[in-house]
Amino acid sequence: METGQKETVLIVDDSPININVLFEFLKQSGYKVLVAISGESAIEKAQKTLPDIILLDVIMLGIDGFETCRMLKESAVTEDIPVIFMTALSDAVDKVKGLRLGAVDYLTKPLQKEELLARIQLHLKVRSMSKRLAEQNEILEQKVAERTAKLSQSLKELQQAQLQLVQKEKMSAIGQLMAGIAHEINNPVNFISGNISPTHTYVKNLLQHLQLYREAFPNPGKEIEEHAEDIDLEYLIEDLPKMIESLKEGTDRLRQISSSMRVFSRKDTSVKVACNIHECIDSTLIILKHRLKESNKRPAIEVVKEYGDLPLVCCFPGQLNQVFMNLIANAIDALEESNQGQTYQQIKANQNRITIRTSVVKPKETVAIYVKDNGIGMSEEVLSQLFDQLFTTKPVGKGTGLGLSISQQIVVEKHQGKLSCTSAPGQGAEFAIEIPINQPDDSEIAPGRLQNS
Ligand SMILES: Nc1ncnc2c1ncn2[C@@H]1O[C@H](COP(=O)(O)OP(=O)(O)OP(=O)(O)O)[C@@H](O)[C@H]1O
Ligand SMILES: [Mg+2]
């Protein structure tokens, strides 16, 4: 009870004499006193005024004190108000029954004023203390709940950060390895491709020269004629230029792979750069080529590119490459799963296909990249957990369940975009990435700093 505010005592008695005596005495003792002359009116008054304590006569006309007490204890509003029964010495009442109903005490009439006061004070004190205790308890429980929630949130964040660190480390190690390999390949490839063109010219000249000799000396003698036959000169003359052509093709492919490896493994700068999304996707596809090509179990996975006319997009290309890699690798996994138990011919009849579509969604605002496969598809249950960290349906060692949660973080948090998926069992899956063309922190973009464009 707040200081300065009088405590309220409700007296319930159907005898006006009793009421008068109590009323005066309690008022003089400093209480605010309310009166009710029946059980019914006592309940009504108690609910309206919420007194701090009730003195309740047991024997009354209408509903008696026990019944009144039972009803007070049944109501959530009044159940906590302490009730003291008052009985005349001559009343043959069952005191235990009253206490069982929830009363805190019994007083016998005629009342000893000092005793009455002492008991009222005692029960008011008990009540205020238990109220405080309940409040403290509630605060404590709330605090414990808050702390527990905070702790489990921190634990979750810690686990998440740890996993992402591992994944990041892994990606950066792979990136470094790729950049290293690309660098190492580059020198010999440049050396070969640099020599192919003069070699081609030399060979052409030599063959021309040989032709002139043959025309000038149609009968070179037995030894030369035999040697020409031994080395199958006619076939050699026909095949040599073709061989050089295919050497050129091979080195061109090597150069393409090494440049894709460099594009793919590019280290992200701290600021976003304007980037050609199609080059990013293409480099990722080349890195994954070994998984797309034909094997003895299935024909090559067909990759259909439906590229729209995209502007340069401000992004962290290394991170976006990681997203493309995750989505395309998942699509390949989903296709391979749908191939399980099927023959080469059956798979061929239902061509494994990955379609990559890009478009500008809102002109000058957003681009969309769709990665679609006709693989195994997903149930509602898988769909609902798709982006959860560590959620995987793949066997241990094959999937960690990090790919999509990291991809979502890259798209949503690092690029303020959206990543979503539509799928149904047996119907394949389509992932949609949407990212703003100009990122909100465009001011950070270094002027004239264009990458892979
Ligand atoms: N294209 C898809 N088709 C069908 N299911 C998919 C596809 N992409 C993802 N899934 C489902 O979502 C799950 C989670 O994918 P996510 O990339 O996060 O993890 P993962 O591929 O299992 O493992 P990780 O990518 O870490 O190696 C997969 O295990 C798979 O069940
Ligand atoms: Mg994955």
Query: Which ligand has its closest atom nearest to the C-alpha of 394?
Result: 1
CA-nearest residue for atom 17, ligand 1, is: 403
Q: Is the CB of 171 under 6 A from ligand 1?
A: no
Q: Is the CB of 403 under 6 A from ligand 1?
A: yes
Would you list the DSSP string of 237-290? HHHHHHHHHHHHHHHHHHHHHHHHHHHHTPPP-SS-EEE-HHHHHHHHHHHTHH
Q: Is the CB of 407 under 6 A from ligand 1?
A: no
Q: Which of 168, 402, 404, 420 to mutate to test the pocket of ligand 1 (most atoms within 8 A of CB)?
A: 404
What is the chain's Cα-based Rg? 45
Domains 8-111 and 270-453 share a fold: no
Query: Which ligand has its closest atom nearest to the C-alpha of 398?
Result: 1
Locate the ligand 1 atom nearest the alpha carbon of residue 331 and give its number: 1
Q: What is the pLDDT of residue 440?
A: 64
Q: Is the CB of 331 under 6 A from ligand 1?
A: yes
Locate the ligand 1 atom nearest the alpha carbon of residue 392 and give its number: 29
Query: Which ligand has its closest atom nearest to the C-alpha of 383?
Result: 1
DSSP 8-state secondary structure symbol assigned to residue 409? I
Q: Is the CB of 404 under 6 A from ligand 1?
A: yes
Beta bridge partners of 369: 358, 433
Q: What is the pLDDT of residue 164?
A: 75
Show me where the domains of the chain are located: 8-111, 152-265, 270-453
At 284, which amino acid appears? T
Q: Is the CB of 392 under 6 A from ligand 1?
A: yes
Spatial CA neighbour of 52 closest among 27, 31, 28 = 31
Q: Is 50 left (phi over 0), alpha (psi -120 to 50) or beta?
A: left
Q: What is the pLDDT of residue 268?
A: 67
Distance 300 CA to ligand 1 centre (A): 21
Q: Is the CB of 393 under 6 A from ligand 1?
A: yes
Please state which architecture CATH assigns to domain 8-111: 3-Layer(aba) Sandwich (3.40)
Phi, psi of 119 (to 5 degrees): -70, -40
Q: What is the pLDDT of residue 275?
A: 92
Q: Is the CB of 279 under 6 A from ligand 1?
A: no
Tokens matching residue 198: 């003069």
Q: Is the CB of 19 under 6 A from ligand 1?
A: no
CA-nearest residue for atom 28, ligand 1, is: 392
CA-nearest residue for atom 7, ligand 1, is: 330
Residue that has been written with the tokens 């009166």 in this structure: 35
Q: What is the pLDDT of residue 206?
A: 94
Please state which architecture CATH assigns to domain 270-453: 2-Layer Sandwich (3.30)
Distance 120 CA to ligand 2 centre (A): 72
First to last CA, the chain: 76
Query: Which ligand has its closest atom nearest to the C-alpha of 429?
Result: 1
Distance 332 CA to ligand 1 centre (A): 10
Q: How far apart are CA 78 and CA 192, in angstroms?
A: 96
Q: Is the CB of 336 under 6 A from ligand 1?
A: no
Q: What is the pLDDT of residue 169?
A: 76
Distance 160 CA to ligand 1 centre (A): 17
Q: What is the pLDDT of residue 89?
A: 66
Distance 152 CA to ligand 2 centre (A): 26
Compute mean pLDDT per 10 residues along the chain, 453 residues long, and list them. Answer: 75 92 93 95 96 94 93 94 87 79 88 91 92 93 94 87 77 78 84 90 94 94 94 93 90 84 73 91 90 94 97 91 94 96 95 97 90 97 92 87 89 94 97 90 45 40
Phi, psi of 378 (to 5 degrees): -135, 150
Is there a contact between 263 and 276 (Cβ–Cβ < 8 Å)?
Answer: no
